[in-house]
Amino acid sequence: MSIEQNDNDKYKPTGANAENPENPESTGRVEGTDKSEGTDKSEDKDKPATPLTPGEPEKTDNPADAENAGTEPLVDPVTSTDATREEHTIEAFEVQRAVNAVKDEMGKVIIGQRHIIDLLIAAILTNGHVLMEGVPGIAKTLTSKLLARCIDVDFSRIQFTPDLMPTDIIGTSIFDMKRSEFYFKKGPVFSQVVLIDEINRAPAKTQAALMEVMEEEQVTVDGTTHPMKAPFFVVATQNPVEQEGTYKLPEAQLDRFMFKLEVDYPSAAEEEEMLNRFSSDFYGRGEGGVGVVVSAEEILKFRGYVEKVYIKADLIKYIAQIISLTRNNSDLYLGASPRASLSIMKASKALALMAGRNFVTPDDVKRAAYPVLNHRLILSYDREIEGIAVKEIIEGLLRKIEVPR
């Protein structure tokens, strides 16, 4: 298999049967296309451009933009057929259209935070969980609720408090006097999208009740295992400012989260837009306009698409080098686990597919690196005293490793 060396072309598979980027049939357009019948490619050159469908990226004459529009094959074309490549390209556009629909729907209420929404969607497409950290009042909880509303799934919200018990979350066995037997009453964690508000307000034993359900998507009570309904997605929030009456999450619990997203204040322009939008809507009536645009079955189908996204061997090595460097670094007391390397690879594939591309680039890896690593790395005592941020360490690691060419 040969590898081209022009911009993003070098990260996609090429070969004797590779797609021709100038061929209209390779763009993933589905209008008027019949895969079972042969078509004259020369006739298509004189035809007017097919109108874009809702959510489809705009056409462009810039080759770099065209590559980012998602016209590349998922698998090595040397071992795949034209029909298979066309199918995978259409899959990329299908995911991109669904993602854009979710973001547009959430944009009816949420202003800004597009990168936060992107990573939330990437997590749910890769069966991950998310920890959102930020000061109060910046729509962490609202963003999570609206994401669940855009997907046709069950939703539950659990407010963590210091007196919350594990059985309040997962459920408990109750004795039925009429039948003279115990039965299991499910807790609020038995949902598909679970929002845990202020997770660091509950003690360690309550936090630990989430470990099994987040990793194995099941709850075991009295020797009986109760599976979760797929897709299962946990979003937890915490406030980094207040420390009184809080319990820091242990490293084992933090490692269960695929991403830790740091939600920041909106810009001045975004704040002005927010004030204008809600000047006559004090009570959130606009939230009622957010509806379902993606089904649970589609989410499960999209997860299969993400698995098939092509990633070059050099990029897999690149991810391994990043993780290895965290474990052999004097600035860090604790490096990243193998779960972190898997999370970077999964997130890179999801971000590529969400952009309409069927292959991973180094930019996808870099974009996934910080939210995956920032809660898994522990600074050494000296660096912590100096006030060095984890973000600086991660940026330094990425600069040290040569980007695959």
Tens digits of pLDDT across the chain (405 residues): 444 445 666 676 655 334 443 343 444 433 444 434 444 444 444 444 444 433 344 444 443 343 333 333 344 433 445 555 565 678 888 999 999 999 999 999 999 889 999 999 999 999 999 999 999 999 999 999 999 999 999 999 999 999 999 999 999 999 889 888 888 999 999 999 999 999 999 999 999 999 999 999 999 998 899 999 999 999 999 988 877 778 989 888 899 999 999 999 999 999 999 999 899 888 888 888 889 999 999 999 999 999 999 999 999 999 999 999 999 999 999 999 999 999 999 999 999 999 989 899 999 999 999 999 999 999 999 999 998 999 999 999 999 999 988
Other beta carbons within 10 angstroms of residue 15's beta carbon come to: 14
118 and 163 in contact (C-beta within 8 Å)? no
Tokens 């307000």 sit at which residue?
201
How big is the chain by its Cα radius of gyration, in Å?
Answer: 23
What span, in angstroms and rounded, lies between the C-alpha atoms of 315 and 153? 35
pLDDT of residue 143: 93
Burial class (CB in 10 A: 0-12, 13-18, 19+), 169: buried
Closest listed residue to residue 257, CA positions, set 118, 395, 135, 376: 376
pLDDT of residue 92: 86
Closest listed residue to residue 142, CA positions, set 253, 240, 274, 303: 274
Where do the structural domains in the chain lie, given as residue ranges?
A: 106-405
Tokens 């090429």 sit at which residue?
14
Distance separating the N- and C-terminal Cα atoms of the chain:
16
For the entire predicted model, the pTM comes to 0.79
Give alpha helix (H) positions in 250-328: 251-254, 268-277, 296-307, 313-327
Closest listed residue to residue 29, CA positions, set 8, 51, 14: 51
Please state which CATH class domain 106-405 belongs to: alpha beta
pLDDT of residue 8: 66
What span, in angstroms and rounded, lies between the C-alpha atoms of 323 and 378? 14
Question: SS3 for 34-73, per residue?
Answer: CCCCCCCHHHHCCCCCCCCCCCCCCCCCCHHHHHHCCCCC
pLDDT of residue 246: 86
pLDDT of residue 79: 45
pLDDT of residue 117: 95
Burial 245-255 (b: 16+ CB within 10 A, else e): ebbebeeebeb
Within 13 Å and on the Cβ side, how many CA atoms surround 194?
26
The helix/strand/coil state of 74 is coil
Closest listed residue to residue 230, CA positions, set 296, 178, 185: 296
pLDDT of residue 61: 45
H or E element that contains 378: strand 378-379
